[in-house]
Structure formats: structure tokens, C-alpha cells
Amino acid sequence: MKAMITVALTAAFMILLNLGEVNAVEGKTGVIVVDIQGDFTTWKNGSLAVNGTDEAFIKKVEEATRKLKQAGYIIFGTQDWHPANHVSFYTNHPGKKPFEAIKIDGRTQILWPPHCVQGTENARVLIDNNLFLAIVKKGQDPRYDSYSGFQDDGGAKTEMDEILKRNGIKRVIVYGIATDYCVKATAIDAAEAGYQVVVVESLCRGVAPDTSKAAIAEMKAKGIKIVKTLEDVL
């Protein structure tokens, strides 16, 4: 009888330990899904579409995000949300062309086609918005670009860090569009804010192979863990 009681207590203790591990995951690990918006996808014929962002890719991201949510992870998103007079739009610089780089107040600004304009269809986040606890808008100040979900190029902070801390997040899993711009900037700023960061490479798409490869190397140098697939996280 004593042995049976010991076995039962041990089993109960292990269940409590496992519940504790689940709660630790829920309380300490978050997911940041970066800029899954129409204007960045070939699926929606976006004005700034990144190669490989067809419907299959978007569905893959949604499925992965749903799986993470079901596993107890807290899901956050970022969303470019630019005013029509945004500094990054080449159309707001007479005589300039898309993808030119100019100097503004001593900083380099790449000029992009107008994209993710506030209130337009292709600014919408394409995966099920009910998966997210919060979607953080960025790039709302017409004077500054904002690749990172944490701050714009002028240093103004978004509410991302505050929201993560409010939810007890210590570690973040990051993926989305684009590897060499907004994913990289968001991941690096997360690391510099003190979070442990994991980037899932297969759930990202980059603007160009060379800059994406350089972005992966830069993130690794910052102590960010790069994994190939979601299974490497789970």
C-alpha cells in the first residue's frame, strides 16, 4: 500500500511539474508575426510584393501561428500603417524613382512604392486576426520609416515592449516579411531589449537572397537563434 501511495504521489507531482512547464511557456514565450500584409505579397499583387509570398506561404504562416496558439503561446503581430504622405514613398519626392536611396537629415532613406496606406485593403493583416492578442501598428509618423515593431527610425517607441512585459514575455519567436528588413529589425530590437529571440527561417521571406543571407548572419551575431522550421521550436 505504501508503495502504491508513493507511486500515486510521484505521478501527481509530475503532472504538477508538467502543468508548471506549460504555464511557464504561456507566461514567458510570445510570438511576433511580422507584417503579413497584402502589399508585401504576390498573392494580393502587392505594390511591394516579396518573392515567395504566394497564397500557399500565407496559409503556411497562418497554420503555424494557429499551432503555436494552440500550444499555449501568446501571439502578437506587427502592421505597417503609413499615412499617404509618408517619407518612404518615392511619390512624395518629385523626380525620384522607387528603390533609390536619399539622405534626409543625415540618415539614409530607401524610397519605396506607396504601400500599406492607412485604411486601404492591402494594409490589412492577411491571417486570422483572432489569433492575435495584439497587433502593433508602426510607421504612422510621416517623417520616419519603421522597419522594427519596437521603434521607428526617429527612435519613437511603439507599445510592443510594454505589451510584452505586461504579459510576462521573456522569449519571442519571430517570423514574417521581410527577412532582410522588418523581421531583422524587429528581432534585433527584441534582443537589444533583453528578450531571448528565435527566428524561424522557413516562415520568413526576404526581398533579395544576398541581403537576406546578410540579415541572417547579422542576427546570429547579435545572439539570435535561427532555426529552419517550426518543429525546431516545438
**Local confidence band at 233 (pLDDT 50, 70, 90 cut-offs):** confident
Radius of gyration of the chain (CA): 20
CATH no. of 27-82+116-232? 3.40.50.850
The residue among 2 and 129 whose pLDDT is bigger is 129
Q: How far apart are CA 133 and CA 140, in angstroms?
A: 21
**Local confidence band at 234 (pLDDT 50, 70, 90 cut-offs):** confident
Q: Tens of pLDDT along 5-51?
A: 343 434 433 433 343 344 444 459 999 999 999 999 999 999 999 99
- Mean pLDDT for all residues in the chain: 91
- Residue burial 182-200, b: 16+ Cβ < 10 Å; e: rest: bbbbbbbbbbebebbbbbb
Q: Tens of pLDDT along 171-197?
A: 999 999 999 999 999 999 999 999 999
Give catalytic residues, as residue numbers: 35, 138, 182
pTM: 0.88
Q: How far apart are CA 77 and CA 35, in angstroms?
A: 7
**Local confidence band at 138 (pLDDT 50, 70, 90 cut-offs):** very high
Query: Phi/psi of residue 115, each to 5°?
Result: -150, 150
The three three-digit cell numbers of residue 131, written as one number: 489569433
Cis peptide before 56 (omega within 30 of 0): no
> Rounded to 10 degrees, what is the CA torsion of 226, 25, 53, 99?
-60
